[in-house]
Amino acid sequence: MSDASTADPPELRRIAERVVTDAAAHLRRLPRPWDGDGAGGGMTGVTTKSTPTDVVTASDHAVETLVRERLAQLRPGDAVIGEEHGGAAGGSGTSWVVDPIDGTVNFLYGMPWYAVSLAAVVDGVSVAGAVMEPASGRLWSAAAGHGATCDGRRLRASGASQVALSLLGTGFAYSSQRRVRQARMVAGLLPRVRDVRRAGSAALDLCAVAAGWTDAYLEHGCSWWDWAAAALIAAEAGAVVRVPGPTGSAPPDDGLGADAVFAAAPGIADELAALAREHGAADV
């Protein structure tokens, strides 16, 4: 492992930006899993994981392999934890958490809302990160204490002050049983907010909060690699952010559920969290 004293957040941020940019370029060159007639026309290089709806493509594996190779060149000795190839953080120093394609189902169906996400982590806490949207070319990034940007432009969470006029992002688990509970919570929230959006990428949902494109985001069941970079981006943009422990351990009990990821504009965070508790967030 690299010594923790070498973990300079702005430098780690530059490395994350460089690596996700390379990874996105690599992804654009890879064969697509669909044949041009839509996902129903025959897919190649696609398998499943936890459920039949939890897919992984050959592209996921190829992108993660490239990220690991780049990090081995730029930060030899650092640990890497990835969605597809596993890994574990060391006891000290810097580790990297990578999601090669966050929003794989969108990617599978030819939709543009997917991203490559990479975070630098010290003692279980993200200190730098970058999220690249291959389809749009947008590059989101942040370093702890140094703010967040999209394509170099400073990000700021929205100034929303009324939950009733707020736009909420969310997502759903792969388990059908859990989706029922999630849908029940969202059904309770829907009459109390302006509207709800479900884009299909936790990383991009959190980046949308950072940019003020949405006012809040709440989802249960995300993995560490889904939010490791983007939650930092949202926090550095001024959003109130709550994440679970990196291994799924619960933070101090706040009634949102042990594995909830929550980000919101400061002016609505407390009221929205209370509404989520009222409508069963802890039971999702």
For the chain, which domains are there? 4-154 (3.30.540.10), 163-283 (3.40.190.80)
The pLDDT of residue 1? 39
Query: Once rounded to an integer, what is the mean pLDDT over residues 226-246?
Result: 94
Least confident of 2-6, 85-89, 195-199, 256-260: 2-6
| Cα Rg, the chain, nearest whole Å | 18
Query: Once rounded to an integer, what is the mean pLDDT over residues 144-156?
Result: 98
The pLDDT of residue 76? 92
33-62, pLDDT tens digit by residue? 664 444 444 455 555 555 554 446 778 889
How many C-beta neighbours within 10 Å does residue 50 have? 9
The single-letter code of the amino acid at 167 is L
Residue 100 · residue 82 · CB < 8 Å: yes
Q: Is the dihedral of CA 110, 114, 115, 121 positive or negative?
A: negative
Q: Which of 265, 284, 280, 257 is nearest to 216 (CA)?
A: 265
- pLDDT of residue 179 exceeding 80, the answer is yes
130-147, pLDDT tens digit by residue? 999 999 999 999 999 999
Q: Which of 125, 121, 133 is nearest to 20 (CA)?
A: 133
63-95, pLDDT tens digit by residue? 999 999 999 999 999 999 987 655 565 545 899
Q: Which of 74, 98, 85, 75 is nearest to 4 (CA)?
A: 75
- The interaxial angle of helices 176-189 and 269-278, nearest 10 deg, is 120
How many C-beta neighbours within 10 Å does residue 51 have? 11
Query: Once rounded to an integer, what is the mean pLDDT over residues 228-251?
Result: 86
What is the set of active-site residues?
Answer: 83, 99, 101-102, 104, 226
The single-letter code of the amino acid at 116 is V
Return the structure tokens found at 240. Answer: 């109130």
